[in-house]
Structure 1
Amino acid sequence: MIRTVTQTGSTNADLAARLSGGEYLPEGEWLVADRQTAGKGRLGRAWNDGLGNFMGSTVVRLGQGDPPFASLALLAGLSVHEAIASLLPDPSPLWLKWPNDLLLAGSKVAGILLEMIAGTIIVGIGVNLRVAPHVEGRAVAALCDHGVDVSRDDFANVLARAFALELERWRSAGLAPMLRRWQSAAHPKGTRLTVLPPGEEAIEGGFAGLTQEGNLLLSLDDGSVRTIHAGDVLLSATSH
């Protein structure tokens, strides 16, 4: 079920408040806003407004036997990739960047934020359908600039189906097939990346795939390979 509101601060915050208040939210229910005034992305970046864009959140209720919940960040990105790719005249310039940014011809078209509240994962997703909001230090684009003419409500239905399908696959087939599909949707191996790990200086290297747990592998210039568990990841200037 997809519920819509005309305006809210943040769909993630709305669902978090309901969960914190003891309300049961079933999987498959989405809250979608026409406008957000206090939306946020990873690392606290603002991600607001954009009338005509998709701004919505859903929940995943973790169960016994589910793969590690951290892999939901990759699953969410793959779901958005599948939804957008199905609408593009040519999906080849659409890449996933670890863990779940969507880049189209090198510019960000979607972002995802996961939060855990009361043992339930809230998945917040923003997709630039009509407007590319300004994000400091980032190249940002909208799907309408690339030949995609889709309404917010139609996209919401496409995304909800894609997310439900990926969730079912994640639970039934396990993590490994999802990670293989994620890597096939990502930028090519060897793509130069700059990583800003928490509390460390930036490091640069080539994309070397994912670990079995879904962490990023970065091939450094000295020949070593570093596992990245967290951090901001950017395409290096030489990759554009």
Structure 2
Amino acid sequence: MQVLEFESLPSTQIYLVEQIRAKSLTPPICVWAKQQSAGIGSRGQVWESVEEALTFSFACTIDTSTPKQSLSLYFGYLFKQTLHGLGHKEVWLKWPNDLYVGEAKVGGVMSQIHKDIVICGIGLNICTDKYAALAVCAKEVLQAFLKGLEHPPTWAKIFKAYKIDFERTHSKQFFKHESGLIPLSQATMRPDGGLEIEGQVYYSQR
């Protein structure tokens, strides 16, 4: 996958979405910025810039076997596995798209769809005095992750592995929903990546 490297961008996600829509860039393509001045996070919130972070977005065609509402979960799990492969086995993926070490959030994933193209952005704090961070080599992580995308696993394989992780890590967790904080202790994962809690089904909107 071709990588376009920038010293700084307001947001890799906004930049790549605009370029894809304008047909100035075509997948597969990755945009990597060493600094972001106006990154975006979950639910449209601002992702504050830190001293050092890995911030990138990539575009690829959609694998129709992966549920569209679970693309962030899919790519987030692949990214977590990349970090595990580089020795950072303390990282886990909180449903549906947040990267954690212990009880501290260190990064996140978001996905958008344009026609048959998915545009996915990933951010990981590497060095900061204000938030949790994971000391990694940004270039090494990015290269390893993109290498894994050359022959990605199926959604079925990712779901099976993540379901085991979910049951191990989420018993005391909550997630933010428009109706309030939803406890995940009684959640059951559906095959499409959604969660069923007391008869109600929840999906990622990220």
Question: Which residue identity lines up with residue 110 of structure 2 in the other structure?
Answer: L
Instruction: Identify, as 1 or 2, the structure richer in strand.
Output: 2
- Indicate conservation of the 8 Å contact 1:217/1:228, yes or no: yes
Question: Which residue identity lines up with residue 227 of structure 1 in the other structure?
Answer: V
What residue is the counterpart of 1:180 in the other structure?
160
Helix, strand or coil at the partner of 1:184: helix
2:158 and 2:137 mapped to 1: Cα distance?
28
Q: CA RMSD in A?
A: 2.4
Helix, strand or coil at the partner of 1:76: helix
1:118 and 1:24 mapped to 2: Cα distance?
14
Larger Rg over CA atoms = 1
1:72 and 1:205 mapped to 2: Cα distance?
20
1:19 deviates by: 1.4
From the superposition, tell whether residues 4 and 24 of structure 1 become closer, same or farther in structure 2 (CA, over 3 Å): closer
Structure 1: unaligned runs, 5 residues or longer: 135-139, 145-149, 219-223, 233-240
1:151 deviates by: 2.2
- Indicate conservation of the 8 Å contact 1:97/1:187, yes or no: no
Question: Which residue identity lines up with residue 7 of structure 1 in the other structure?
Answer: S
What residue is the counterpart of 1:217 in the other structure?
196
Structure 2: unaligned runs, 5 residues or longer: none
Where does structure 1 differ by over 4 angstroms across 4 or more consecutive aligned residues? none
Deviations 1:88-136 (A, max 9, x none): 36x1x4221111211111111110111123442110000112236x5xx
How many residue pairs were aligned? 205
Matches within 5 A, 1:80-229: 80-88=79-87, 91=89, 93-131=90-128, 134=130, 140-144=131-135, 150-165=136-151, 168-170=152-154, 175-186=155-166, 188=168, 191-198=171-178, 200-218=179-197, 224-229=198-203
2:84 and 2:126 mapped to 1: Cα distance?
13
Provide TM-score, normalisation by structure 2: 0.86
What residue is the counterpart of 1:238 in the other structure?
none
Provide TM-score, normalisation by structure 1: 0.75
